[in-house]
Every structure is written in structure tokens, then in C-alpha cells.
């Protein structure tokens, strides 16, 4: 983004230069190169670095590491005047808006904007941004066939824990369920498996597991497993009764947002 900015500013300068193009062309090619180089240096000096560092006196390797962090999780000010341009590529960034700090996350199946911290005391001069949770597949109910299929499997395996991945193909707009390869021996409380490999247009949008005869809830182990992930997580429980329970949540980089899914829909 930074590069783009510089390039576009540079293009502007070149446009200005073109205004007096005849004059420029009268000078030698060498002079023109000097002009380009000087303009680039000036731009570099004028450029506000979004890192609070002394760019000149910081060792290059430290600066590079911080620039890499910034590139992986950038911070962007929400515009007050121009239209807000959502994150286009997969990843996440932090947004500073007039109302405080937000996180914006993009996956092939998800566009998510969530407020992390509200702030009103010191006026933040940037624009507003609205929270958003847009899933490419619409509602979780579009995967009902796969959620029902796992119900059958989880019941058959109980009290041993079962697991499944439900993959969303964002090109074909279709769901597919896949059962991961179990590593070692699954027990009632623990299952270890090799993560399912999604196809090129697929994402593991829903991760499912079961709690056998226990009720459906997210345990500390589940929290640890889901930390940092971006997916919907679902757990089925009370599988030895005629009233099984389910719990669903959207996991986004450590945030857990409960999703309401009636168990009767899946087990009915």
C-alpha cells in the first residue's frame, strides 16, 4: 500500500513535470534522471512513516522486522471525507475510526468489521465505520445437510469424540464435509487429527467436534485450539439422549462470538 502511495504521488509529480515537458526534454537525459532521483528522495523524506521510529538511526534489520509486522497487520485511518474502501485481500488490519479501534478481517468466505475499543474522550478526527459480519454463504443454515450428516456420525461414535471440517467453495458456492484423519486414539474428551487440506477455492469455514455424552460447550481446550483462528466452530453434545445439544460460535483472531443454532434443526 505504501509503495502504491509513493508510486501514485510520483505519477502526480511526473504529470506536473509533463506540463513543462518541452522544457524538460530540452535538457539532457542525465538532467532528467537527476530530476527523477531528486523527486524520489524528496518524496521519501516527506512521506509520513506509519511506524513511530527514527527511520535514519534505527538499525535496518530492526526496521525491517517492524515493517514486516506492519505489513502483516497494518493500521489504517478511516476516511472522514472520501468513501471507505474495504480490505480487498485475505488478512486483517486495524482501523482507527472516530469511535475508536476496530479490526477488519477478510477471508474468501468472510468480511468482518468489529469494534475492539470504544473511545470518545480525545476527539479522533477520522471517519465512522460500521460493524459488519458478512459471510459469503449467507447463513449457517445453508450447510444444514452437512451439519445433519455430522450429527449422524457424532451419534454413532459417541461416547468417543468425533470431528469434521465443513468446507466452503467460494467459486462454486457449495459446501462439502470432510472427516479428518485421526492421529492416535480418540477418547471421550480428546481427539487429535490432521487438519483437512482445503482445495484451491475452498476454506474450512466450519469446524465441528462432539462431546459424546457431555453437553455442548466450549471447553478450555476448545478455546486453546480455536485461538487465533478465523472459522465457525461447532460442538455437539448429549448424544446419548433424545435431546442432543449444540453450541456454535464465530472465532475471529481470539474473539468468540456466539451464534444461535437450534439443536432441533440439526437433530430434528
Tell me which residues touch Zn ion (CB under 5 A): 219, 222, 235
Taking alpha carbons only, the member of 162, 189, 191 closest to residue 178 is 162
Residue with cell 462431546: 211
Q: Which is nearer to Zn ion, 90 or 219 (CB)?
A: 219
Query: Do 88 and 106 contact (CB within 8 A), yes or no?
Result: yes
Q: How far is the CB of 222 from Zn ion (least distance, A)?
A: 4
Q: How far is the CB of 213 from Zn ion (least distance, A)?
A: 13
Q: How far is the CB of 53 from Zn ion (least distance, A)?
A: 43
Q: How far is the CB of 101 from Zn ion (least distance, A)?
A: 31
> CA 224, 227, 228 angle in degrees (round to 5)?
155
Q: Which is nearer to Zn ion, 99 or 212 (CB)?
A: 212
Taking alpha carbons only, the member of 135, 222, 139, 146 closest to residue 178 is 146
Q: Which is nearer to Zn ion, 169 or 222 (CB)?
A: 222
Q: How far is the CB of 179 from Zn ion (least distance, A)?
A: 17
Q: Which is nearer to Zn ion, 207 or 222 (CB)?
A: 222
Q: Which is nearer to Zn ion, 105 or 235 (CB)?
A: 235
Q: How far is the CB of 164 from Zn ion (least distance, A)?
A: 13
Q: Which is nearer to Zn ion, 93 or 249 (CB)?
A: 249
Cα–Cα dist 39/15, whole Å: 12
Q: How far is the CB of 156 from Zn ion (least distance, A)?
A: 18
Q: How far is the CB of 257 from Zn ion (least distance, A)?
A: 17
Residue with cell 469424540: 161
Cα–Cα dist 99/119, whole Å: 6
CB-nearest residue to Zn ion: 222
Phi-psi region at 170: left, alpha or beta (left = phi > 0; alpha = psi -120 to 50)? alpha
Taking alpha carbons only, the member of 137, 147, 138 closest to residue 265 is 147
Amino acid at each position: 500500500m505504501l509503495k502504491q502511495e509513493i508510486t501514485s504521488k510520483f505519477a502526480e509529480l511526473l504529470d506536473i513535470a509533463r506540463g513543462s515537458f518541452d522544457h524538460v526534454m530540452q535538457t539532457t537525459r542525465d538532467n532528467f534522471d537527476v530530476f527523477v532521483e531528486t523527486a524520489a528522495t524528496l518524496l521519501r523524506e516527506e512521506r509520513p512513516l506509519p511506524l513511530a521510529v527514527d527511520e535514519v538511526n534505527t538499525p535496518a534489520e530492526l526496521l525491517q522486522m517492524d515493517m514486516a509486522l506492519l505489513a502483516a497487520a497494518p493500521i489504517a485511518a478511516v476516511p472522514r471525507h472520501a468513501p471507505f474502501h474495504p480490505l480487498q485481500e485475505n488478512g486483517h488490519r486495524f482501523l482507527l475510526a472516530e469511535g475508536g479501534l476496530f479490526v477488519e478481517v477478510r477471508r474468501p468466505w468472510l468480511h468482518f468489521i468489529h469494534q475492539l475499543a470504544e473511545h470518545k474522550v480525545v476527539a479522533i478526527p477520522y471517519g465512522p465505520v460500521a460493524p459488519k459480519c458478512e459471510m459469503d454463504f449467507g447463513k449457517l443454515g445453508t450447510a444444514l445437510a452437512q451439519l445433519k450428516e455430522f450429527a449422524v456420525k457424532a451419534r454413532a461414535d459417541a461416547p468417543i469424540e468425533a470431528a469434521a471440517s465443513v468446507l466452503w467453495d467460494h467459486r462454486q458456492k457449495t459446501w462439502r464435509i470432510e472427516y479428518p484423519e485421526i492421529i492416535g486414539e480418540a477418547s471421550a474428551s480428546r481427539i487429535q487429527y490432521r487438519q483437512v487440506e482445503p482445495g484451491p477455492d475452498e476454506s474450512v469455514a466450519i469446524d465441528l467436534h462432539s462431546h459424546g455424552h457431555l453437553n455442548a460447550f466450549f471447553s478450555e481446550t476448545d478455546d486453546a485450539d480455536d485461538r487465533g483462528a478465523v472459522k465457525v466452530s461447532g460442538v455437539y453434545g448429549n448424544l446419548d439422549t433424545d435431546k442432543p445439544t449444540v453450541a456454535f460460535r464465530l472465532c475471529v483472531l481470539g474473539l468468540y462470538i456466539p451464534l444461535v443454532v437450534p439443536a432441533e434443526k440439526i437433530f430434528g
